[in-house]
Chain A
Amino acid sequence: MNKDLYFLAILADALKAPNPKEALGGAIEEIRALGQTPEYKRGFSQFQRFMEEVEKNWRSKKREDIAFDQIRRLALQMAADLPEGDQSETKVILELIRSEPRWQEEFQKILKEMSKSKPTDRIPEIVLERNGQRIASIICEEVTKEIKNLKPGIYTVKIDTGWVLWQEELTEQDLLWRAAFQGEDLDLAADSDEAQAHPTRQVSLLNDEVIIRVFPGAESGCIEISIKD
């Protein structure tokens, strides 16, 4: 056996054992026992020097890892609205973050990533669907919008959060002038202001916050959605 590096062979063997942890316990004992004999004395000193090197690496890795995880944990605690741990600990972490640009960068990166999931004050949209397919959407501000060229089908008006405000089947009687107002002059009425005065349906929702009106046309109908802010 190479008496200067005897510990390496022993460690390598133990790490390959079926139960490395148990084998390592035995390996350390073996290294120590051999180290007490004169011929392995230098090898044992080298083992100690070697373990110093292992420790230095571990310490350096540990410092990086702990710093990284503590920064993450602080960000998580902030996101979970939890008390931010021991105040002195928080201070140390914040000092660490301030002390090095890379930790500042890391902290900012984490906060930026987490901010993606923060609820926003976005203005919802009203969505119009025909037979389950989205055909139009309107931002919920005070506005009136007409959606034209509508054919018979199941129509749904909902908020983009999924809340259905209105759902009805619209037939030819709702959407085509000749079916809705039999006997009335199609060309005159459909192309004049008079048509606007003759919705086939009018629905008021949410205490008049949303008003839906359906108008018939010559070839297709139209839905007018009015939103009151």
Chain B
Amino acid sequence: MKLIASTRPPGNSTELQYHKLPLVQLIAAIVHYSDRFALEELHSNRTLFSYGGEPPLCFIDFLNKLRESEIRMGWSTGNMVETVDRAFDLTIDKFTRLPAEDDPGVDCRVYFKAFLDGMAGGRGIRNEAKAAAFLQGLVRRHFYFSLLEAERKTNPFWSRYNWEVKGGTICVWLPVWLKGRKRREWLEKNIDFPNPEHPEEQQRVQGIINQNFPKGGFVAIEERGWIADKQDHVTPSREGESQKFFLAETVAEEKGRNIEEQRLAIKALGEKKLKQLVLRIFNDLKNERYKDMEVARDFGLTKATFSRFAGSKWLRGKTGIPDLWQNTAEVLSANPDLKEIAIRTGVWKKVKATLEKGGQDNREEPAHE
């Protein structure tokens, strides 16, 4: 890889003492001279960042704190650690990467230039502290921005688009349903005065896009249908990610773990026996020999108890779906493959129609395809 030639500020260049340069001068050396020594001094020796009252931190340690904090708080959808790690890597690139001639990519000089542009003149210790705080704000903001960007990357409903405008390119994320030249048309209509030269332009444009196409758009669920549409956030399920899922074992584990919540007679079985019971039921179903009464007898349960637990004829019953099948439904509701297939095959629509019609009568006479 051919690196962009690193130069040093003029003057006594070979003897330049980087450790004695105030922050603004150090960053100016990076921006104006692609000075790798200045970059190294900045990241190796400068403890510019504060976090929660702890002693000052260098860039990478601060970024690690942000990463750990995000993981601690957690996201409920998608691969959270992967998303946070991606944001972490993106932010590192933004503040450390000097591009090569044959591999332009992210250029830290763009982000450091934003720092220089934002810093007014000034000297001395107070100004150094002010500069450190300003850089921290910039890094922090870019980490959170990278997080939103990384999260968008893991969303199958958005894709990248390189908008070529005014002799430059602005790379943005757009909903996948906005296709082809419609993308350019939309951008031209909605983005005023695009300036690909401006270091923060991508953020500005993405911000306007976000305003118009809120990702995963939250609306009160009770007021909307739940069939996936273009804005629904279905957990990504990409090629190669589809994984085997052992239903019987998962339900057995779940039941065993929540034994305290079971009806008394079931609880009395104990965790181990309860798991055996669940596995036996699924096994008998698989082997086409499931008979309620036989299983009930083998585990010392009464007909009524077993019926409420795992009865096979519950459609007309007053007690609703037996506990085990309710629990199975709960486990399956977390399976993204089933959800995707159910949506794709139209099963959800049928279910939704049933729900909307409501009433027991409808359940008695299923709507066949």
| Chain A interface (Cβ < 8 Å from any Cβ of B) | 1-2, 4-5, 8-9, 11-13, 15-22, 24-25, 28-29, 32, 35-36, 41-42, 44-46, 48-59, 61-70, 72-73, 76-77, 79-83, 85-87, 89, 92-93, 96, 109-110, 113-114, 116-124, 126, 140, 159-165, 167, 206-207, 209-210, 227
- In the complex, whether B195 has a CB less than 8 A from a CB of chain A is no
Identify the closest chain B residue to A120 (Cβ): B50
| Chain B interface (Cβ < 8 Å from any Cβ of A) | 17, 19-23, 45-48, 50-52, 55-56, 58, 62, 65-66, 69, 72-73, 75-77, 123-126, 128-129, 132-134, 136-137, 140-142, 144-145, 147-148, 151, 203, 206-208, 210-212, 214-221, 226, 233, 237, 242-248, 282, 284-286, 288, 290, 312-315, 321, 325-326, 328-330, 332-335, 337-342, 344-345, 347-348, 350-352, 354-355, 363-366, 368-369
Q: Is the interface of B mostly helix, strand, loop or mixed?
A: helix
Q: Are B123 and A55 in contact, CB atoms less than 8 angstroms apart?
A: no
Given contacts A59-B226, A119-B133, whether A28 and B341 have CB atoms under 8 Å apart is yes
Q: Are B77 and A124 in contact, CB atoms less than 8 angstroms apart?
A: no
Q: Are B46 and A162 in contact, CB atoms less than 8 angstroms apart?
A: yes
Q: Are A79 and B369 in contact, CB atoms less than 8 angstroms apart?
A: no
Q: Are A70 and B216 in contact, CB atoms less than 8 angstroms apart?
A: yes
Given contacts A16-B246, A20-B245, whether A61 and B207 have CB atoms under 8 Å apart is no
Q: Are A116 and B52 in contact, CB atoms less than 8 angstroms apart?
A: yes
Total residue contacts A-B, CB cutoff 8 A: 291
- Chain A residue contacts of B221, Cβ below 8 A: 59, 62-63, 66
The answer for the CA separation of A72 and B84 in the assembled complex, in Å, is: 13
Given contacts A15-B245, A61-B334, A119-B137, whether A50 and B341 have CB atoms under 8 Å apart is no
Name the contact of A36 in the complex, choosing from B50, B218, B363, B369 (C-beta under 8 A): B369
Top-5 shortest CB links A-B: A57-B333, A119-B133, A53-B329, A116-B52, A80-B144
Q: Are A16 and B144 in contact, CB atoms less than 8 angstroms apart?
A: no
